[in-house]
Amino acid sequence: MLRAFLLSLGQLGDRKILAVFVKSLLVTVLLIAVLGAALWYAAARLAARWGWDSTAGGLLGAAALLAAFGLSWLLFRAIAIGVMGAFADDVVIAVEARHYPAALATARNVSTARGIGLGLRSAGRAILVNFALAPIYVALLVTGVGTWLLFFLVNGWLLGLDLGQMVAARHIPSALMRDWRKTGAVERFALGVAGTALFMVPVLNLFAPILGAAMATHLFHEGRSA
């Protein structure tokens, strides 16, 4: 895992990877901005319907923007990984071109539609699972560490699966993906926990999707050659 992280960190300056970073970050910011605008618009419409004056309407709009900011913080990982699904193939290709040229020669390109589908499923799975576990998260707050521990375990499992699938999609036929998911669960979980930890570090969390995809590529190929 440490080797995969160091190799991925060392390739952040690759032009193709930087291009993916810029594109994915712009799309993520755009989606968050759309969320904020939608909540602000909804607040403005409600204020108008209820006949509130401009001051009260402004306060409601401000509250809506704060809510959007809070939701964006909570959903950032899901949104970022969902967006990364559309561009992950470029990251995987860049890593394979430098470190695994033989594997690159036999890989299949993942279509944009399939990449977006993988990303949307990843985001939806993360949101639904964490929403379903929200009552347990709240109940575990009294333990001091239970909420964070469960969060790391659950999201480590989800993220490891998501990142692994982004790489496996290039080398394993869709019909065999179920069999692939039965193997390497421990390695994917470790990858997911590491990726989840990266998302918790300010500034570094912006690079977490890129680093996660690159690390997943290294772990996938090293696992196949072991």
Q: Report the largest interatomic distance among the alpha carbons of the chain, rounded to a whole angstrom.
A: 68
pLDDT number for residue 43? 77
Take residue 83 and report the two structure tokens written for it.
């967006």
User: Do 28 and 80 form a contact (C-beta atoms < 8 A)?
Assistant: yes
d(CA 79, CA 85): 10
Residue with tokens 């692994």: 164
Amino acid at 113: A
Amino acid at 150: L
What's the average model confidence in pLDDT over 174-182? 84
CA 153 to chain CA centroid, Å, is 15
Q: What's 176-214 look like in SS3?
A: HHHHHHCCCHHHHHHHHHHHHHHHCCCCHHHHHHHHHHH
182-217 pLDDT, tens digit per residue, is 888 888 999 999 988 888 888 888 898 899 999 999
Amino acid at 176: L
CA 176 to chain CA centroid, Å, is 24
Question: Which residue did the predictor score with more confidence, 226 or 139?
Answer: 139
23-43 pLDDT, tens digit per residue, is 888 888 888 888 778 877 777
pLDDT number for residue 50? 72
Q: Is the pLDDT at 3 greater than 80, yes or no? A: yes
pLDDT number for residue 224? 72
Phi-psi domain of 110 (left: phi exceeds 0; alpha: psi -120 through 50; beta: other): beta
Question: Which residue did the predictor score with more confidence, 111 or 215?
Answer: 215
What's the average model confidence in pLDDT over 147-155? 88
pLDDT number for residue 100? 94
d(CA 168, CA 181): 10
Determine how many CB atoms are found less than 10 A away from the CB of residue 102: 10
What's the average model confidence in pLDDT over 19-24? 90
pLDDT number for residue 56? 65
45-85 pLDDT, tens digit per residue, is 777 777 766 666 666 667 776 776 766 666 777 788 888 87
